Amino acid sequence: MKLITSLLCVGLLAFSAFAKDESNKPLSNQATFVESFSSAEVTISATGLGGKTGWFVNDMEKNALLDARKSAVWFVLVGGTDPLLNSPDAKTKFEGIAEEFFKGENVNVYISWEADKVISTVKTKLPDGEKGVKMTKLFRVNKQKLTDDLAAKNVIVSKDALASAQGNPVIMVIPETPKGQTPMQVFDTNPLARHAAAVIESYLTARTYEVAVPRAAEQLADQSKMQAEVKGAEEDIAYQIALALGSDVYIIFAGTVTNGKASVQVKAYETTTARLLGTETGYSKTRAGAAMEPLVEEAINDAIDKVLARVSAYWTKDLNDGIQYKLIFNITSGFDDIQTVQDAISDCIDEGFAKNKENVATDKTMDYNVWAKKDDFKKARNVMRFIQKKMTGTAKVTQIVLNRKLIICGVQPE
């Protein structure tokens, strides 16, 4: 009897030691993106690996299911083209909590739905060579909750922190516009374009982005004309309107519906530089006879989440550099030495903004992108005052436009 008890104790100790050495991280790391179900949830097809727990062979499928759930969450964290952990710093911070994060059934709180039907279950060999089971199933991961929890653990930067540092990005949504037309004309003549814009705007507001809606047509026309005069013969109407409204990012969409299937291309641009931040094409499933509106909505949902992930990554990166402003100097005639004025503007920019980029330098125009630290410049007007003060004695600087991140200055002799 003592011998049996001793052997049992040894066995249990061996099992405990084995369990202690096992990692809580997913074994398979096999998953693929299926769809953006909503502004908060994504559907993932994930595969899990499961072996026996000690001597309990019947636990294989249960362990494989848990591993599949972990793999689904893992994919949202680090898989695909737009993971939540999109920087080396975030990955390093998460590595410090990964074991606790994946411990037991902790990941279940992020699974908002899973399919009743298993896609496949097959016998396989595990990485350690032991016999096991491989199971594939559909899961819906609550990406928003996952994002909030990671922000609370200081693994990623929260939107509140970003908003506190430089405000939430203002985003404007407009259709791709044929030459000779304006976005407003497209909206007025194309109900499907209006519906597509409303779907994207709804998605943005659900994610707490600020949305600028270009409905004041006459005002936009006047401001666009002004922007064109400042920029020269500017052809990009979308860019003009985005600058006029003071949006940080503008989203352009275009799409088609044929044979019961919709495809929609969504592009996001940084307004101050017109730099492309992200582009994706989303597709709906083929549904013969279906109305066009739900097909377009499904195609947009397939694309917009990936594009917004890139916008968020851009905004997070800018947090380290400072608030980005577009500075345009219109230099009037009457200066004896234009070179001295240009040098003074350049020195002013270098002194006030550690990171800056000179885009255009002519006798009449100097165009800069500058990144201002919020501790030094809390708003655009502070930037304007700094420039006016530093240019005193060389030239008189006047304010032409002060619109969020767009600052246009007039430079004339004192």
331 and 311 inside one domain: no
Q: What percent of the chain has pLDDT over 70?
A: 84
274 and 405 inside one domain: no
Residue 158 lies in a domain: no
SS3 assignment, position 329:
strand
**HSE-up (13 A, CA, CB side) for residue 276:** 6
pLDDT on residue 149: 93
Assess whether pLDDT exceeds 50 at residue 12: no
Residue 140 lies in a domain: yes
Which pLDDT band holds residue 159 (cuts at 50, 70, 90)?
A: low
315 and 327 inside one domain: no
pLDDT on residue 185: 86
302 and 202 inside one domain: yes
> Which of 319, 343, 361 marks a domain boundary?
319
Assess whether pLDDT exceeds 70 at residue 215: no
Which of 29-38, 97-106, 313-322, 405-414 bottoms out in mean pLDDT, i.e. has the lowest? 313-322
Burial class (CB in 10 A: 0-12, 13-18, 19+), 180: exposed
End-to-end CA distance of the chain: 105
> Which of 148, 179, 202 marks a domain boundary?
148
pLDDT on residue 383: 94
Q: Determine the residue type at 262.
A: A
Q: Determine the residue type at 92.
A: T
Mean pLDDT, residues 65-85: 92
pLDDT on residue 230: 47
pLDDT on residue 37: 83
Residue 250 lies in a domain: yes
pLDDT on residue 80: 81
pLDDT on residue 313: 78
pLDDT on residue 30: 94
246 and 329 inside one domain: no
Average pLDDT, the chain: 83
Mean pLDDT, residues 101-110: 92
Residue 4 lies in a domain: no
261 and 348 inside one domain: no
Find the DSSP H helices in 322-354.
Answer: 338-352
Rounded Cα–Cα distance for residues 332 and 43 (Å): 58
Which pLDDT band holds residue 87 (cuts at 50, 70, 90)?
A: confident
pLDDT on residue 236: 57
Please report where in the chains the tokens 């992108």 appear, as a residue.
369
Q: Which residue has the higher pLDDT, 15 or 384?
A: 384
Q: What is the pLDDT of residues 28-61, one digit of tens each?
A: 999 999 888 887 899 999 999 998 876 666 789 9
55 and 191 inside one domain: no
Residue 376, domain extent? 323-412
Rounded Cα–Cα distance for residues 387 and 97 (Å): 46
CATH number for the domain that contains residue 281: 3.40.50.10610
282 and 357 inside one domain: no
SS3 assignment, position 401:
strand
Residue 223 lies in a domain: yes
Q: What is the pLDDT of residues 291-316, one digit of tens each?
A: 999 999 989 988 888 898 888 877 77
Residue 178 lies in a domain: yes
Q: Which residue has the higher pLDDT, 272 or 162?
A: 272
Mean pLDDT, residues 356-370: 90
332 and 201 inside one domain: no
pLDDT on residue 160: 64
pLDDT on residue 17: 37
Mean pLDDT, residues 189-211: 90
Mean pLDDT, residues 205-226: 64
Q: Which two tokens stand for residue 404?
A: 């969020």
Assess whether pLDDT exceeds 60 at residue 4: no
pLDDT on residue 50: 92
Q: Which two tokens stand for residue 36?
A: 């953006």
Give the number of domains in the chain: 3
CATH number for the domain that contains residue 383: 3.30.70
Assess whether pLDDT exceeds 80 at residue 155: yes
331 and 241 inside one domain: no
> Which of 278, 301, 319 marks a domain boundary?
319
Q: Which residue has the higher pLDDT, 310 or 264?
A: 264
Which pLDDT band holds residue 86 (cuts at 50, 70, 90)?
A: confident
Which pLDDT band holds residue 167 (cuts at 50, 70, 90)?
A: low
76 and 206 inside one domain: no
Assess whether pLDDT exceeds 80 at residue 339: yes
Residue 358 lies in a domain: yes
pLDDT on residue 289: 86
Residue 6 lies in a domain: no
Assess whether pLDDT exceeds 90 at residue 65: yes
Which pLDDT band holds residue 161 (cuts at 50, 70, 90)?
A: low
Mean pLDDT, residues 335-363: 92
Which of 19-23, 75-79, 308-312 bottoms out in mean pLDDT, i.e. has the lowest? 19-23
Q: Which residue has the higher pLDDT, 4 or 307?
A: 307
216 and 253 inside one domain: yes
User: What pTM did the predictor assign?
Assistant: 0.66
Of the candidates 393, 41, 12, 16, the residue with the CA atom closest to the CA atom of residue 206: 41
